[in-house]
Structure 1
């Protein structure tokens, strides 16, 4: 990956709907050359997907919480990870160091959504203990931070 690939990724991170010709103007390449680079970046996994940066409040998912989870000793960790990947409320899930096993970022429409989420983790046998922190407001949130070049 060279400097042009990095610039393409940064431009797409700003607006994934940019046209190939617009990107090409910024990196001094033809649209077909940009398309080829994007194809390679997708194939290599450097770009995972193209997505939308939605307004969570407008979608009725304006409650943001962070849930620290310690897995039950008998829990099937692979089943837990599969559950995390398939749950609509989960924005992020990180395996972490320290006293907790995972840090989960969830978005729900009501506080009862947090209770429901925790009850489901308990019912599935995943949860030994948890701690939940509710965000009062979000100062900044970015889906991608481009590397310094």
Structure 2
């Protein structure tokens, strides 16, 4: 990956709807070269998909919570991961160090919906020993772009 690829990644993270002509102009490329680079970045997995950022309040998902989950035995990890990744409320799922096994970032309509998720679905999964939840009161920054460095070539 060179600096042009990094510039393209930074550009599409900031302006996902940029046209190939706009990307080409910003990176000093022809339109066909910009298109080829975008295709290669997708084929190599550097760009994993395209989506829109949606205001959670606009779709009635204003409650943001982080849930730590402890799995009692590593034999339950695969089943937990498989089940949790299918839950639409779970935006992120991270295997973490320390006393907890996993950290989940979730969105819910309200505390009642969060409670249903935790007690009715997460804690019902085999191997879930306990959980600890933090509710975010506000978010100064959420879903920022990755800081792709353009200072040097690989």
Same-fold call, TM > 0.5? yes
Q: Tell me if the contact between 1:61 and 1:109 (Cα under 8 Å) persists in the aligned partners.
A: yes
Aligned to 2:116: 116
Aligned to 1:127: 128
State the aligned residue count.
149
Tell me the distance in 2 between the aligned counterparts of 1:143 and 1:92. 14
TM-score by length of 1: 0.94
Name the SS for the 2:32 alignment partner: helix
Deviations 1:25-48 (A, max 9, x none): 000111111111011101101110
1:146, CA displacement in angstroms?
Answer: 2.4
Deviations 1:93-113 (A, max 9, x none): 110000100110000001012
Tell me the distance in 2 between the aligned counterparts of 1:117 and 1:86. 12
Q: Tell me if the contact between 2:123 and 2:130 (Cα under 8 Å) persists in the aligned partners.
A: no
Aligned to 1:148: 149
Aligned to 2:3: 3
TM-score by length of 2: 0.91
95-104 or 80-89, larger mean C-alpha shift: 80-89
Runs of 4+ in 1 over 4 A off after TM superposition: none
Q: How does 1:6-21 map to 2 (within 5 A)?
A: 6-21=6-21
Tell me the distance in 1 between the aligned counterparts of 2:125 and 2:95. 19
Unmatched 5+ residue regions in structure 2?
Answer: none
Instruction: With a CA cutoff of 8 Å and minimum separation of 6, indicate the structure with the bigger relative contact order.
Output: 2
